[in-house]
Amino acid sequence: MNTASPEVTDTGRPTESWRERHASSIRQMRLYWHTYRRNASAMVGLVLVVIFLLLSLISPWIVPYPADATGAVHMADKLLPPSAAHWFGTDEVGNDILTRLLIGTRLSLEIAVIITGVAAIIGVPLGILAGFSGGWTREIIMRVTDVFLSVPALVLAIAIVAALGIGIVNAIVALSLVWWPGYVRLVESKTLSLKGEAYVDAARLAGASTARILFSHILPNCLSPILVKASMDMGMAILAAASLGFIGLGAQPPTPEWGAMISIGRNYLPTWWWYATFPGLAIYLTVLGFNLMGDGLRDVFDPKSRGR
Amino acid sequence: MTSPLPVLSIENLHLDFDTFDGALHVLDGINISLDAGETVGIVGETGCGKSVTVRSILRLLPMPPARFSSGAIHFKGRDLAAASERDMRRIRGLEIALIPQDPMSYLNPVFTVGQQLTDVIRAHGRNLPPAQRSAGKSARERAIELLTQVHLPHPEKQLEAYPHELSGGMRQRVLIAMALAGQPSLLIADEPTTALDVTIQAQILRLIGDLVGRLGLAVILISHDIGVVAKVCRRIVVMYAGTVVEDASAEDLLERPLHPYTQGLLAAIPKLHGDNQQLSGIPGSIPNLLQPPAGCRFYDRCPLRMDVCRTQKPPLVDAGGGQRVACHLYPGPRQEAHYV
Amino acid sequence: MSDVPLLQVRGLTKHFDIHSGRFGKALLKAVDGIDLTLDRGESLGLVGESGSGKSTVARLVTGLHRPTGGEIVFAGSSIQDMSGRDRRRIGRDIQMVFQDPHSSLNPRKTIFGSIAEPLTIHDGLRGGRLRARVEELLETVQLDRRFMYRFPHELSGGQKQRVCIARAVALNPKLLVLDEPTSALDVSVQAQILEFLRELQYRLDLTYLFISHNLAVVRHVCSRVAVMYMGRVIEAGPTTEVFDQPNHPYTKVLLASVPEPVVQQQEAPTLGGDVPSPISLPPGCPFNPRCPNKIGPVCETLNPELIPVGNSTTGARHVACHLFSDQLR
Q: List the single range of A23-32, B269-278, C100-109, C305-314 with lowest mean pLDDT.
A: C305-314
pLDDT tens across C221-231, in order?
999 999 999 99
- CB contacts of A199 in chain C (<8 Å) are 103-106, 114
Per-residue tens of pLDDT for chain B, all 340 residues: 445 678 899 999 999 998 877 889 999 999 999 988 899 999 999 889 999 999 999 989 888 888 898 999 999 888 888 888 888 888 888 889 999 888 888 899 999 999 999 998 888 877 766 666 655 578 888 899 999 999 998 899 999 999 988 888 899 999 999 999 988 989 999 999 888 888 899 999 999 988 888 888 899 999 999 999 998 899 999 999 999 999 999 999 999 999 999 999 999 999 888 777 788 888 888 888 888 888 899 998 999 988 888 898 898 888 888 899 999 988 765 444 444 3
Q: Do C150 and A24 touch (CB under 8 A)?
A: yes
What residues of chain B lie within 8 A of the CB of C214, using their CB?
270
3-state class of A100 per DSSP? helix
Q: CA-to-CA distance for A230 and A303, rounded, in angstroms?
A: 20
Decide if B227 and C258 are in contact by the 8 Å CB cutoff: yes
pLDDT at position A1 is 38
pLDDT of residue A6: 44
Confidence of residue A7 (pLDDT cuts 50, 70, 90): very low
- Give the mean pLDDT of C35-62: 92
Residue C106, in any domain of the structure:
yes
Q: Do B282 and C188 touch (CB under 8 A)?
A: yes
What is residue A8's predicted lDDT score, i.e. its pLDDT? 52
Q: A34 — contact with chain B (CB < 8 Å)?
A: yes
Closest CA to B293 of B265, B316, B317, B312: B312
Question: Which chains neighbour B (Cβ–Cβ under 8 Å, 3 or more pairs)?
Answer: A, C
pLDDT at C79: 85
Element (H, E) at C137: helix C127-140
For residues A166-189, b (16+ Cβ closer than 10 Å) or e, as one string? Answer: bebebbbbbbbbbbbbbbbbbbbe
Q: Mutation target for A interface from C66, C88, C106, C110: give the one with most A CBs within 10 A.
A: C106
Check C164 against A202: CB less than 8 A apart: yes
For C163-169, what is the mean pLDDT? 95
Q: Give the per-residue pLDDT at C268.
A: 67
Q: Is B63 on the interface with A (CB under 8 A)?
A: no
Instruction: Give contacts of C204 with chain A, Cβ < 8 Å.
Output: 1-3
In a domain, C27, yes or no: yes
Q: Three-class SS of residue A274?
A: helix
**Who has greater pLDDT, C164 or A152?**
C164
Q: How many pairs of residues across A and C have Cβ atoms under 8 Å apart?
A: 102
CA distance B207 to chain C (A): 11
Given a cut of 80, whether residue A260 has pLDDT beyond it is yes
Neighbours of chain A (3+ CB pairs under 8 A): B, C
Return the residue in A11, A18, A199 with the most chain C beta carbons within 10 A, the one to mutate for interface testing: A199
* Residue C249 within any structural domain of the chain: no
A304 touches chain B (CB under 8 A): no
- Chain-chain contact of B273 with C243 (C-beta, under 8 angstroms): yes
Residues 129-158 of C with CB under 8 A from A: 129, 131-133, 135-136, 140, 146, 149-151, 154
Of C188, C257, C258, which is closest to B268 when you measure between CB atoms?
A: C188
Query: What's the pLDDT at B290?
Result: 87
Residue C126 in domain: yes
**Which H or E run includes A231?**
helix A219-246
The distance of A41 to chain B (nearest Cα, Å) reads 19
Q: Percent of chain A having pLDDT more than 70?
A: 94
Strand partners, C317: C309
The interface predicted TM-score (ipTM) is: 0.87
- Per-residue pLDDT tens digits for C136-154: 999 999 999 889 999 999 9
CA dist A280 and A269 (Å) reads 13
Range of the domain at C127: 1-39+63-195
**Residue C248: inside a domain, yes or no?**
no
| Chain B contact set for A34 (CB, 8 A) | 20
Partner-chain contact C192 B254, CB within 8 Å? no
pTM, full prediction: 0.87
Inter-residue contact B212 to B40 (CB < 8 Å): no
CA dist A21 → A26, A27, B40, C112 (Å):
10, 11, 49, 11
How many beta-carbon pairs under 8 angstroms link A with B?
7
pLDDT of res. A247: 86
Instruction: Quote the CA–CA distance of A170 and B173 in Å, as a whole number.
Output: 64
Into how many domains does chain C fold? 1
| Among candidates A12, A16, A24 on the partner chain, residue whose Cβ is nearest the Cβ of C154 | A24
Q: How many CB pairs under 8 A join B and C?
A: 124
The predicted-structure confidence for B261-299, as pLDDT tens digits, reads as follows: 999 999 999 988 877 778 888 888 888 888 888 889 999
Question: Given an 8 Å threshold on Cβ–Cβ distance, is B201 in contact with C49?
Answer: no
> What one-character-per-residue DSSP string does C111-133 give?
HHHHHHHHIIIII---HHHHHHH
- In this prediction, residue A5 carries a pLDDT of 42
State how far the Cα of B326 lies from the Cα of B243, in Å rounded to an integer. Answer: 9
Q: In chain B, which residue's Cα lies nearest the Cα of C272?
A: B203
CB < 8 Å to A10, chain C:
127-129, 132
Q: Tell me, yes or no, whether C203 lies in a domain.
A: no
Residue B193: CA count within 13 A, CB half-sphere: 25
- Within 10 angstroms of residue A226's Cβ, the number of other Cβ atoms is 19
Residue pair A291/A48 in contact by the 8 Å Cβ criterion: no
Confidence at residue C2, expressed as pLDDT on a 0 to 100 scale: 54
Is C108 in Cβ contact with A220 (below 8 Å)?
Answer: yes
Looking at residue B334, its pLDDT comes to 45
Instruction: Calculate how close chain A gets to C130, using CA atoms only, in Å.
Output: 8
CATH number at residue C145: 3.40.50.300
Residues of B in contact with A299 (CB under 8 A): none
Question: Quick check: B19 contacting A, CB < 8 Å?
Answer: yes
| Least confident residue range of A33-37, B130-134, C58-62 | B130-134
Does residue C124 form part of some domain? yes
Q: Quick one: closest CA in A to B64, which residue?
A: A308
Residue A221 binned pLDDT confidence (cut-offs 50, 70, 90) = very high
Query: Is C100 an interface residue toward B (CB < 8 Å)?
Result: no
How close is the nearest chain C Cα to the Cα of A3, in Å? 7
Distances (CA, A) of B196 to A268, B146, B210, C194: 73, 21, 19, 23
If you average pLDDT over every residue of chain A, what do you get? Answer: 87
CA–CA min distance C114, chain A (Å) = 9
pLDDT on residue C21: 62
Residues of B in contact with A308 (CB under 8 A): 19-20, 65
Which pLDDT score, from 0 to 100, does residue C312 have? 63
pLDDT band, residue C161 (cuts 50/70/90): very high
C88 within domain boundaries: yes
Helix (H, G, I), strand (E, B) or coil at A115: helix
What whole-number distance in Å separates Cα of residue C195 and Cα of residue B278?
7
SS3 A206: coil
**Residue C85 — very low, low, confident or very high, per pLDDT cuts 50/70/90?**
confident
Residues of A in contact with C100 (CB under 8 A): 198
Closest Cα of chain A to B17: distance in Å?
10
Q: Quick one: three-class SS letters along chain B?
A: CCCCCCCEEEEEEEEEEEECCEEEEEEEEEEEEECCCCEEEEECCCCCCHHHHHHHHCCCCCCCCEEEEEEEEEECCEEHHHCCHHHHHHHECCCEEEECCCHHHHCCCCCCHHHHHHHHHHHHHHHCCHHHCCCCCCHHHHHHHHHHHCCCCCHHHHCCCCHHHCCHHHHHHHHHHHHHCCCCCEEEEECCCCCCCHHHHHHHHHHHHHHHHHHCCEEEEEECCHHHHHHHCCEEEEEECCEEEEEEEHHHHHHCCCCHHHHHHHHHCCCCCCCCCCCCCCCCCCCCCCCCCCCCCCHHHCCCCCHHHHHCCCCCEECCCCCEECCCCCCCCCCCCCCC
In chain C, residues with a C-beta closer than 8 Å to the C-beta of A205 are 62-64, 91, 95-96, 118
Beta bridge partners of A96: A90
Between A124-128, B335-339, C295-299, the lowest mean confidence (pLDDT) is in B335-339
Q: Which residues of B touch C (CB under 8 A)?
A: 45-46, 167-170, 197-203, 205-206, 224-228, 230-231, 250-251, 254-255, 264-273, 276, 278-283, 285
Long-range contact set of residues C286-292: C-beta below 8 Å, sequence gap at least 24? C286/C229, C286/C230, C286/C231, C286/C232, C287/C229, C287/C230, C287/C234, C287/C249, C287/C250, C291/C249, C291/C250, C292/C249, C292/C253
Model confidence band, residue A304 (pLDDT cutoffs 50, 70, 90): low
Q: Which residue has the higher pLDDT, A142 or C284?
A: A142
